[in-house]
Amino acid sequence: MPDQKLISEAAAVVSKAQVLVVSTGAGISKESGIPTFREAQTGLWSRYDPEQLATPQAFLRNRDLVWSWYMYRLDLVRQAQPNPGHLALVRLEDLVPQMVILTQNVDGLHVRAGSTDVVELHGNISRFKCFAACRGKPTLVDLDPASYSKEIAPPCPYCNSYLRPDVVWFTENLPTAALSRAFRVAEHCDVMMVVGTSGIVQPAASLPVVAKQRGAILIEVNPRVSGLSGLADIFLQGPAGEVLPALVDALHPA
């Protein structure tokens, strides 16, 4: 955990923010039991590289393997609860004039925690769509969890293609509306807090760069140095589930 002086310094910066943007990655959900992407995977999937599974080419090559991996992750997400890091961000929203969360996570935990302005840059693992986008992009399909296989990708009900999760895969574009809102708020925020991301996947990794170029103060929360740490004005080293509650307490003692 960072010392109290650094937490107080970050709290003073946040307390002056008019528009606070919080940009989150897999690290914020780790304490909810959801594995990150670039740290060691455990168990069944330890021998697979997530980047090898999260592409349209992988789905074409081995559809059921990709489907099973996402169903495994979806099960983890369904069992998971928001952790103190997510909940601290809900409290923080009431303490600043405007706060927007830009998340690379597909687990929906910010919304489940109660945050009200969340931009999901990489989609949501609980939604499904036709791989062929047969009725336009995206062709969303309601799927009853009780009625589908966890091992075999279900067929699209409208065409002869298959269903896939409504997440962004490598080589695919991010949803246009989410991406343009993200860059708009990054350009206009006065403070950006970057939490739990390795900061190497584009275009999300450019958001702090844009914010900093436009004069925002950058605060980073991460137990380890990341690709973005060089840019940070204040680096709060530690797990989000401990650092974020401490930061919010410093702003607004309970």
- Interacting residue with ligand OAD among 11, 17, 22, 30 (CB under 6 A): 30
Determine, following the binding rule CB under 6 A, whether residue 37 of this chain makes contact with ligand OAD.
yes
C-alpha span between 29 and 84 (Å, rounded): 10
- Interacting residue with ligand OAD among 86, 197, 247, 251 (CB under 6 A): 197
Contact of 17 with 190, CB cutoff 8 Å: yes
Determine, following the binding rule CB under 6 A, whether residue 122 of this chain makes contact with ligand OAD.
yes
The stretch near ligand OAD (CB under 6 A) out of 74-82, 140-148, 149-157, 235-243 is: 235-243
The stretch near ligand OAD (CB under 6 A) out of 63-71, 143-151, 186-194, 216-224 is: 216-224
Looking up tokens 């709290």 gives 11
CB of 144 to ligand OAD, least distance (A): 25
Determine, following the binding rule CB under 6 A, whether residue 68 of this chain makes contact with ligand OAD.
no
Alpha-carbon 163 to chain mean position: 22
- Interacting residue with ligand OAD among 54, 102, 125, 246 (CB under 6 A): 54
How many DSSP H helices and E strands does the chain contain?
A: 10, 9
Neighbours of 5 (CB within 10 A): 8
Looking up tokens 């530690």 gives 238
- Strand runs labelled E in the chain: 19-24, 98-103, 118-120, 123-130, 140-141, 163-167, 191-195, 217-222, 234-237
CB nearer to ligand OAD: give 110 or 122.
122
Q: Does the active-site annotation cover 122?
A: yes
Determine, following the binding rule CB under 6 A, whether residue 224 of this chain makes contact with ligand OAD.
yes
CB nearer to ligand OAD: give 18 or 172.
172
What lies within 8 Å, CB to CB, of 47 at 6+ separation is none
Q: How far is CA 22 from CA 88, 98, 146, 166, 168, in A?
A: 12, 11, 35, 23, 20
CB of 24 to ligand OAD, least distance (A): 8
Could you list the residues that contact ligand OAD (CB under 6 A)? 25-28, 30-31, 36-39, 50, 54, 104, 122, 168, 170, 196-198, 201, 221-224, 226, 239-241
Instruction: Please list the active-site residues.
Output: 122
